[in-house]
Amino acid sequence: MISAVLLAAGESRRMGEFKQLLPFAGKTFIECSVDNLLASRAGEVIVVTGYRAEDVSRAIGGRRVRCVYNPDYRSGMSASIKRGVQAVSEGARAVMIALADQPQIGPDICDQVIEAYEKSRAQIVVPAYEGRNGHPIILDLSLKAEILAIDAQQGLRQVIHARPERVFRVEVASEDVLVDFDFPEDYRRIFKP
């Protein structure tokens, strides 16, 4: 089984508004991201919450996900990655790390990354568009100790760049894997007439 861990703990400081609850495609960012993962071949979906955790959980509603709280969310994404990896079910072989500020990444892309992991048997699978790495990425849980030891400043780059030969890049047909919404102008761009 591949567990999907959706990182949704951040404060959205650069955006100036709480990203997880911004409208997107008739829902909120968090709802779109969760629904895309639930529609994929991931065996379970774990949502890592932090800032405004109750609001995020309320938006998710009765969807079949497990929310885990990261009390250390202010220290950055690495703490949320660790919290999510610690929460995966015992039967999981790998973890797919997805970002709540990428609600446009559909289940088709998630499934393409999962399929690449299953076929390549690589420890790390990264989607790429025109040679540039994106998300969501899959990490084999044989790397769990390494993931849990990542430095807050380097994050997963520390694991990915440690031994490039264990990384498999799957080229996808959509630049969505590169696009996240960090700033107000990023968000405004999707609503251009």
| Res. 82: pLDDT tops 90 | yes
Which distant-in-sequence residues (6+ apart) come within 8 Å of 84 by Cβ?
A: 5, 6, 7, 46, 48, 68, 95, 97
Arithmetic mean of pLDDT, 179-192? 71
Handedness of CA 184, 9, 127, 110 (dihedral sign): negative
Neighbouring C-beta atoms of residue 165, cutoff 10 Å: 7
Domains and CATH numbers, the chain: 2-189 (3.90.550.10)
Arithmetic mean of pLDDT, 102-118? 95
Handedness of CA 183, 72, 103, 131 (dihedral sign): positive
- Choose the weakest-confidence range: 5-14, 43-52, 88-97, 130-139: 5-14
Which pLDDT tens digit goes with each residue over 37-50?
999 999 999 999 99
Best-predicted range by mean pLDDT (2-16, 97-111, 144-158)? 97-111
Arithmetic mean of pLDDT, 133-145? 94
**Which pLDDT does position 14 carry in this prediction?**
75
Please tell me the number of Cα atoms within 13 Å of 164 on its side-chain side. 0
Cβ atoms of 169 and 160 within 8 Å: the answer is: no
